[in-house]
C-alpha cells in the first residue's frame, strides 16, 4: 500500500482508491495502514479517490462523504467529525478518526474521542499517532 501511495500522483492519483478500499479489509493491520496513509494523503489523491467512488463503487455514499470531508479538513465542522467518530457506521468512524489525525494540531480533543472509542480499529489507530 505504501508503494501505491507514493506512486498515486498526477495522472495516477486515481490509484489511491485502492488504499481507500482497504478501510473495509478483513485484516486489521491493512485497515490501520490504510487509515494512517489516508491521514497523510495529498488533497489531489483524496479528490481522485472521491471521484472513483462517485462513479458508484463499493459503499460509495460513505466514501464520498468521508473523502469530501477529508479534502476540506481545515474547514471541517469539528462537531460533525466527533459525531462520525462516535457514530454507528464503522466506515464513517474510520473517516472521523482520519480527519481527527489530520486536524491534530488544531483540534487535539478530537483524538481523545478516537482514544476512548469502543471501536478497536480506532483505538489501534490512536496508538500509532
For 19-48, the DSSP string reads: HHHGGG-S-HHHHHHHHHHHHT--HHHHHH
Percent of the chain at pLDDT > 70 equals 97
Please state, in angstroms and as integers, the Cα–Cα distance from residue 127 to each residue in 84, 105, 111, 116, 124, following that order: 19, 17, 10, 11, 5
**How many residues comprise the chain?**
129
pLDDT tens digits for range 91-108 = 999 999 999 999 988 889
The SS3 assignment for 56 reads: coil
Is residue 54's pLDDT more than 70? yes
Number of folded domains that form the chain = 1
Interhelix angle 78-86/60-71, rounded to 10 degrees, is 140
Q: Which domain holds residue 94?
A: 2-127
| 127: nearest Cα among 117, 20, 78 | 117
95 contacts 70 by C-beta, under 8 angstroms: yes
- Least confident range of 27-31, 34-38, 74-78: 74-78
Note whether 78 and 85 are within 8 A (CB): no
Burial per residue of 42-67, b for 16 or more beta-carbon CB atoms within 10 angstroms, e otherwise? eeebbbbbbebbeeeeebeebbbbbb
> So what's the pLDDT on residue 55?
87
Amino acid at each position: 500500500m505504501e508503494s501505491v501511495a507514493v506512486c498515486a500522483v498526477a495522472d495516477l492519483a486515481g490509484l489511491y482508491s485502492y488504499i481507500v478500499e482497504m478501510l473495509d479489509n478483513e485484516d486489521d493491520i491493512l485497515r490501520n495502514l490504510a487509515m494512517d496513509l489516508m491521514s497523510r494523503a495529498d488533497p489531489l489523491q483524496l479528490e481522485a479517490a472521491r471521484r472513483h467512488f462517485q462513479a458508484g463503487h463499493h459503499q460509495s455514499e460513505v466514501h464520498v462523504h468521508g473523502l469530501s470531508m477529508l479534502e476540506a479538513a481545515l474547514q471541517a465542522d469539528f462537531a460533525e467529525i466527533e459525531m462520525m467518530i462516535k457514530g454507528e457506521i464503522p466506515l464513517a468512524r474510520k473517516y472521523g478518526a482520519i480527519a481527527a489525525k489530520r486536524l491534530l494540531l488544531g483540534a487535539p480533543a478530537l483524538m481523545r474521542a478516537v482514544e476512548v472509542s469502543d471501536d478497536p480499529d480506532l483505538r489501534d489507530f490512536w496508538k500509532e499517532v
